[in-house]
Amino acid sequence: MTNSKWIRRALLGGVAMTVMAAGAQADDLSALKAQIEALQARVNTIETRGATLPEGVSFLTIARGHKAIAMTNEPSEGLDAIPENRGMTIAVTPTADLPAPATEITISGYVRALARFTHTNPAVGPSDSGFDILGRGQVDIKSKTDTAVGQVRTHIRLRGNAFVTDGHDHGTVNAGRADVDMYLYYGEWDFMPNWTLKAGMAGQIYAVPNVAYASVGGVYGIDSSRHTQIGLHYNGGPVAFGFGIEDPSYGNAATNTISMPDFGAYAKFSMGGVKFGASAGVGKVLDGVTATSTDTGYIFGVGAAFNAGMFGVNAGFAYGKGMINDIVAGTAATNNGAGSLSKAWGVQGNATMGVSEATTLYIGAGYYNYTNATTNPTDHGFNVIGGVAWKPVSALQVAAEAGYSKDSLRAGGSNKGAYGALGFWFFF
């Protein structure tokens, strides 16, 4: 009798515990179900709001970095290159279900201060020394927009440089003033796969390919400048080329007597860390015989670059007639003094070596030579530079550099110059 009572009590207790456990599980399931229903209600609300967005209203997101937009055939920036993780990218997304952004706008830039000591020893006259602190501010704005007829991109660069009238800060009336200009402004349209239309003020089409300049003191040997242009560019992986027209390089701005544009083209091949390229340009140039007479000038060049980890080297050669300002950094002369356009050639070589993740050593050398100029004061010249750049963080760079140049004169003697510079870059 006692045993049967104990068994009944045990069974009743087990049933009670089972009922209590089932009730607890039911309560947990009810709470979980309520949470799921609340989450679904929030999703429905977001979708409903997105579906009813007024036309023209978009979502905006802001992210650090500006590497999302790559422009066509951009030249190397050397020490002025802005790290990809600096600046910001603003993405404009037109609907709530977050497809790929229809438009992206990147903003980046830097402030640079350069302390420089220069010493010149001319062939005629006394030597001179001077100290300058040069300032620069730059803002880059890029955009890309995907459209029904292909991607459209723009690039605007605003640059301000402090300047003085005599090249040295000796308290002149203009000391501390600055010039601000629209340094670059151009647009690109990918009108079909691998093909891009590029128009505006950009690096010249026929610049010597693959030659990068590291110097803070300026380019020497082979030079490249900016030109207003309209051109077509093809990029098919390892092979890229482009061609187009540019505003006449010489004389047109002053006298408006050149009635045809310059024509330029280039081709590049790259595979891994190896790059090769060639370029050419032709155009009418004022020949100096009369105030308005012209002759046909030309330029062609080749360049190559090799990069392997922390080591890189590049070099280029260019030769031209009349259009010498686009290939050498010597004295400008389009007329050789005998009624014909001057001819010149130039070479440039640069090398970089990373000694650590933050420190890079670099050297460069350039040479130019006028081959048929009879009255141009400068016959040939060379330049060598060397420096070290330290970038402890992406927002800051410090570089120290020294350089020497010598320009030999046709009449005898030479102009010599040397400088030392210490620069600070503050990237935002």
Compute CA distances 169 → 117, 131, 162, 418, 425, whole Å: 11, 7, 11, 18, 21
User: What does the pLDDT read at residue 192?
Assistant: 95
Closest CA to 326 of 304, 303, 344, 351: 344
How many other C-beta atoms can be found within 10 angstroms of the C-beta atom of residue 413?
Answer: 12
Q: Pick left, alpha or beta for residue 176 (phi over 0 → left; psi -120 to 50 → alpha; otherwise beta).
A: left
User: What does the pLDDT read at residue 4?
Assistant: 47
Residue 76: is its pLDDT beyond 50? yes
Q: In the structure, what pLDDT confidence band is assigned to residue 354 with cuts at 50, 70 and 90?
A: very high
Residue 356: is its pLDDT beyond 50? yes
Token pair belonging to 214: 């590291």
Token pair belonging to 109: 């830039």
Q: In the structure, what pLDDT confidence band is assigned to residue 118 with cuts at 50, 70 and 90?
A: very high
Lowest mean pLDDT among 142-151, 200-209, 334-343, 348-357: 334-343
Q: Distance between CA 314 and CA 216 in Å, rounded?
A: 17
Contact 236, 194 (CB under 8 A): yes
Task: Assess if CATH 3.40.50.150 describes domain 109-427.
Answer: no
Q: Distance between CA 9 and CA 21 in Å, rounded?
A: 18
Residue spans per domain, the chain? 109-427
Residue 37: is its pLDDT beyond 80? no
Per-residue pLDDT, averaged over 258-274, amounts to: 92
**More confident call, 275 vs 339:** 275
pLDDT tens per residue across span 216-227: 655 556 766 788
Q: Distance between CA 182 and CA 162 in Å, rounded?
A: 15
Per-residue pLDDT, averaged over 10-39, amounts to: 57
User: What does the pLDDT read at residue 103?
Assistant: 87
Q: Distance between CA 67 and CA 292 in Å, rounded?
A: 47
Per-residue pLDDT, averaged over 132-140, amounts to: 91
Q: In the structure, what pLDDT confidence band is assigned to residue 168 with cuts at 50, 70 and 90?
A: very low
SS (H, E, C) the chain: CHHHHHHHHHHHHHHHHHHHHHHHHHHHHHHHHHHHHHHHHHHHHHHHHHHCCCCCCCEEEEEECCCCCCCCCCCCCHHHCCCCCCCEEEEEECCCCCCCCCEEEEEEEEEEEEEEEEEEECCCCCCEEEEEEEEEEEEEEEEEEEECCEEEEEEEEEEEEEECCCCCCCCCCCCCEEEEEEEEEEEEEEEECCEEEEEEEEECCCCCCCCCCCCCCCCCCCCCCEEEEEEEEEEECCEEEEEEEECCCCCHHHHCCCCCCEEEEEEEEEECCEEEEEEEEEEEEECCCCCCCEEEEEEEEEEEEEEECCEEEEEEEEEEEECHHHCCCCCCCCECCCCCECEEEEEEEEEEEECCCCEEEEEEEEEEEECCCCCCCEEEEEEEEEEEEEEEECCEEEEEEEEEEEEEECCCCEEEEEEEEEEEEEEC
Vertex 326: Cα angle to 267 and 308 (nearest 5): 50
User: What does the pLDDT read at residue 390?
Assistant: 96
What's at 11, amino acid-wise?
L
Lowest mean pLDDT among 188-192, 255-259, 403-407, 414-418: 255-259
User: What does the pLDDT read at residue 208?
Assistant: 86
Q: Distance between CA 56 and CA 18 in Å, rounded?
A: 60
Q: What is the largest CA-CA distance in the chain?
A: 138
Predicted model pTM: 0.79
**More confident call, 393 vs 344:** 393
Residue 165: is its pLDDT beyond 90? no
Q: In the structure, what pLDDT confidence band is assigned to residue 22 with cuts at 50, 70 and 90?
A: very low
Lowest mean pLDDT among 106-115, 243-252, 383-392: 243-252
Residue 304: is its pLDDT beyond 80? yes
Residue 65 burial class via C-beta count within 10 angstroms: exposed 0-12, middle 13-18, buried 19 and up: middle
Lowest mean pLDDT among 45-59, 104-118, 299-313: 45-59
User: What does the pLDDT read at residue 1?
Assistant: 45
Lowest mean pLDDT among 58-62, 119-123, 150-154, 420-424: 58-62
Token pair belonging to 256: 């408006």
Per-residue pLDDT, averaged over 101-117, amounts to: 91
Most confident residue range from 121-125, 410-414, 422-426 = 422-426
β-bridge mates for residue 385, sequence order = 364, 403
Averaged pLDDT of the chain: 80
